Chains A and B, each alone.
Chain A
Amino acid sequence: VKKVFEIFLGVLTAIGGFVDIGDLVANAETGARFKLNLAWVVVVGVIGIIVYAEMAGRVAAVSQRATFDLVRERLGPGVGLVNLAASFFINLLTMTAEIAGVAIAMSLVVSVNYILLLPVAGFLVWFVIWRLPFGAMEKLFGIMGLALLAFVVVVAKLGPDWGSVFHQASHPHVPSDETPFTYAYYGIALFGAAMTPYEVFFFSSGAIEEKWTAGDLNVERANVLIGFPLGGLLSLSIMLTATLVFAPRNISVDQLSQVPLPGAIVAGKLGLAALLLGIFGATFGAALETALSAGYTVAQYLGWQWGKLVRPNDSPRFHLVIMAALVGGVLFAATGVDPVKVTEYSIVLSAAALPLTYFPILVIANDPEFMGDKVNGRITNFLGVIYLIILLLVAVATIPLMIITKAGA
């Protein structure tokens, strides 16, 4: 029974943890602008994150080694350092966007400019990392993020014609007022939002924080196989509400505060409250994950003691990196930089950097010295290689597309 509970909680947290500010913004934006013509990208992204999160979690559970530990050992210190610098920078952008998301969600409740709430949001994130045990932290914000399921209720209340929804989603085309370049650019944004690298840094380090071993692989698989698809379902609901509410009125989404508006339209105050709670939980959870990931990546590259299992005094540098990242993120957001733009850049640049994270995982997951008989099976390897090719193509195309489309303008 304990095991069932464990899986249940894990799945809940995976749903809450999958959707973050990147998914909220990218799905609402593309729904409003491209209707359901990019829905297939969400499905491709969810399968990709399932394949690689399962691999990273399995490697961590079996070998007790987290992703960046392996990155340094497999790629060497030089390439590893370049990888660390790129991953750390993109993660910092993502964290900035998440903290801004937390502050915006709070500002919609208390009617204070969100910039004034940024230090509060940053402090709360630090305080939770400093004081709350790993499991409690994951569960609390995962379950809060579940309030986003209200998007599914909103979709049901809007009552779309399901036949035409499936027809639209399964017959994608470039809308007549868009170019193939903008279409591809927003496709990459959605893909990057689904496969953001910090999810893997956090999942693999979290497996070690939760003391998973080879015996916990069933829990690990259940988390991945149920949690991420349900997270994908949430993403699609967000896209669908935007398609149904914003697209017919030619409203483009350029602020986070627009995302929960469909809830207010169909379900009134209660719907709006649920969605705001969900946005708060999802962005706060992701702010925690990205801030921790800043510490995880640096500490694992340099071999420092890390994690929430030891006293902060026993992992001082790990905590210092997290504090520095949070201060940097809050200051950057406080310059008044547009949080939606920061989010867009973070997910698109994530997409460009994906091979850096996922290639070493694929290599290690095939190494019997680390994995024993828990190496990748044939199907996993087949999917892993296919996705690696997709990741490389996306990485090559991202920057040129960014230039051609003027970042999706």
Chain B
Amino acid sequence: MMARSIYAGLSLLDRQMLDRDGVLCGKVDDLELESSPDTGQLYVSAILAGPGVLMYRLRRRRWGEWVQRVNRLLSAERGAGGASDPARIPMSMVSEVSEHVQLAVDHDDLATSAMGHWVRRHVTSHIPGSGHKAES
């Protein structure tokens, strides 16, 4: 399959990601590049997204590692440890790149949701009304 060429730095980085149900699920925090063995050209192999990733990109490596470790613990707590690294979203899971990045996965499986799950489980779900939309 012929890959699309785009200016990855401009059209991908920092774009809003949507999951397959249209739920906002983080930003494209960084990109993983690989070079093709045949032509030697670089291509984007995966989107990296999650709080620790952004700190890495902002050159706060130690904080980034620490946050990623916490994030992995949170994912393990939920038992979602199936994927090797939830912060890595292979490009095969990306269905559309426009003003936003449309993913073909559920936001629950992404590293960007781990802290949200924690907050829901330990804070918001204990408050009455958290499961209802505000109705008029």
**Chain A contact residues, CB within 8 Å of chain B:** 63, 65, 69, 72-73, 76-78, 80-81, 130-136, 302-306, 308-314, 316-317, 319-320, 323, 369-370
Contacts and interface: CB of A to CB of B under 8 A. Distances in A.
Given A310-B133, A369-B99, A304 B15 contact: no
Given A81-B58, A320-B124, A369-B99, A302 B132 contact: no
Contacts of A77: 14, 29, 54, 57-58
Nearest to A306: B24
B38 interface: no
A131 B134 contact: yes
Given A77-B54, A77-B58, A135 B119 contact: no
Interface residues of B, number: 34
Contact of B136 (A65, A136, A311, A312): A136
B93 to A, nearest CB: 16
A316 B5 CA distance: 37
A316 B124 CA distance: 6
Given A76-B14, A77-B14, A312 B124 contact: yes
A303 B112 contact: yes
A304 B26 contact: yes
Interface of B: 14-17, 23-27, 29, 51, 54, 57-58, 99, 107, 112, 115-117, 119-120, 123-125, 127, 129-136
11 contacts: A73-B15, A77-B54, A130-B129, A133-B134, A302-B51, A303-B17, A311-B130, A311-B131, A316-B117, A316-B125, A319-B124
A69 B130 CA distance: 25
Nearest to B134: A133
B27 A132 contact: no
A9 to B, nearest CB: 13
Interface SS majority for chain A: helix
A81 B29 CA distance: 13
Contacts, number: 87
B130 A303 contact: no
B136 A133 contact: yes
Contacts of B107: 305
Contacts of B129: 130-131, 312
Pairs of residues from A and B, 6 with the lowest C-beta to C-beta distance, nearest first = A303-B27, A316-B120, A316-B119, A303-B26, A312-B130, A133-B134
Contacts of B117: 316
Contacts of B16: 65, 69, 73, 303
Nearest to B29: A77
B112 to A, nearest CB: 7
Contacts of A304: 24, 26, 112, 116
Contacts of A131: 129, 134
Given A133-B134, A316-B123, A73 B14 contact: yes
Contacts of A69: 16
B125 A313 contact: yes
A302 B58 contact: no
A134 B54 CA distance: 32
Nearest to B23: A305
B63 to A, nearest CB: 13
Nearest to B27: A303
Given A73-B14, A133-B135, A320-B119, 20 more contacts: A69-B16, A73-B15, A77-B14, A77-B58, A78-B58, A80-B14, A131-B129, A133-B133, A304-B24, A304-B112, A308-B134, A310-B133, A311-B131, A312-B124, A313-B125, A316-B116, A316-B125, A320-B124, A369-B99, A370-B99
B135 A302 contact: no
Contacts of B132: 311
Contacts of A133: 133-136
